[in-house]
Each structure stands twice: as C-alpha cells, then as structure tokens.
Amino acid sequence: MEVILIQDVPKLGYTDEIVNVKNGYALNYLIPKGYAIMATPSNRKVLAENLKQKAFKQERVKNEALELAKKLDGLLIRVGAKASSSGKIYGSVNALQIAEVLKNQHSIEVDRKRIFIDGDSIKELGTYTATINLQKEVKATIQFEVFAE
C-alpha cells in the first residue's frame, strides 16, 4: 500500500514522501497515529500542489537571504566594550552584541542564534570574523572590530 508521509518517520522516509508499506503497518500504525495518509489520486494532487507552493516559498526566502548576504559580505562593524589598559575586555563579546550593532548601526535584523563567531569567545581588543547562517544554503561573513569604550 502506498502512503504519503505527513511527518518524518525514522527508517521509513521524510515528510511529503510517497512510500510503499505493508497494509497492516499503514492501517494499524501510520494512519491512526497521524504519520501518513493514503496515497489516493486526490491526495497525490494535493501533495503535488503543496510541494509546488513550498518550492516557491523556499525560492523567495532564498532570494531574500541572498540579497541580505550581499549587504553583509565584507561589512566591517565596530563593537564597543569596556577594556583594561592591557587590551583585555571585561566580560566577552558575543553574538547578541553583534546582532544589536547590526540592528542599530546598519538597520539589519539578524537572529543572534544564526551568528557564529570564529573562536570560542572574544576577550581581547582586535578584529575578528563572524559567520552568519541566513538560510540552509546561504552564509555571509562579516568582520567586526572590538574597540575600547
């Protein structure tokens, strides 16, 4: 029996995939638990339309991410931090501070969870690199300078 998976099922398949399983497995487990629906001609048409719309949305999101990546690539931002005379920072510079600087200085909103700083944590003054994962396939690299306030 062919079924359309509504959600990922380990060792069977992924969402929106049509798989062939035994009748008992489909009727007694997959369908009642809400993991799958029967692959009738009407359900196949609905699946095809959903996949088409999903592809269109993903393409739009990817294009927006590419535009944002063009703005971000090669951008140098300045992050202020309290530091001692030897150049050590009190505390550290993290992704949250970089996201705030991007928002305040450049009007670019980026989720702090998508910003990855090269190295563990920034505890000295200097210039560093951060990678921003805008989308699954789109990444941007920015330079940031930590200066003493």
Same domain, 53 and 91: no
Same domain, 42 and 86: no
Does the structure show a pLDDT above 90 at 81? Answer: no
Same domain, 141 and 83: yes
- With H, G, I as helix, E, B as strand and everything else as coil, classify residue 112: helix
Same domain, 30 and 73: no
Calculate what percentage of the chain has a pLDDT beyond 70: 99
Average pLDDT, the chain: 90
Number of independent structural domains in the chain? 2
Does the structure show a pLDDT above 90 at 107? Answer: no
Same domain, 55 and 85: no
- With H, G, I as helix, E, B as strand and everything else as coil, classify residue 28: helix
Average pLDDT over residues 90-95: 87
The residues, ordered by sequence, that sit 6+ positions from 6 with a Cβ below 8 Å of its Cβ are 15, 34, 35, 36, 37
Average pLDDT over residues 38-60: 94
120: CATH: 3.10.430.100
In whole angstroms, what is the distance from residue 128 CA to residue 110 CA? 18
31: CATH: 3.40.5.10
Same domain, 78 and 114: yes
Calculate what percentage of the chain has a pLDDT beyond 90: 44
Same domain, 114 and 137: yes
Does the structure show a pLDDT above 90 at 35? Answer: yes
Same domain, 29 and 75: no
In whole angstroms, what is the distance from residue 36 CA to residue 52 CA? 20
Global pTM value: 0.65
Count the neighbouring beta carbons within 10 Å of the beta carbon of residue 122: 22
Domain boundary among the residues 44, 60, 76 is at 60
Domain with 111, as residue range(s), is 68-148
Does the structure show a pLDDT above 90 at 92? Answer: no
In whole angstroms, what is the distance from residue 27 CA to residue 23 CA? 6
Predicted confidence band of residue 16 (pLDDT cuts 50, 70, 90): very high
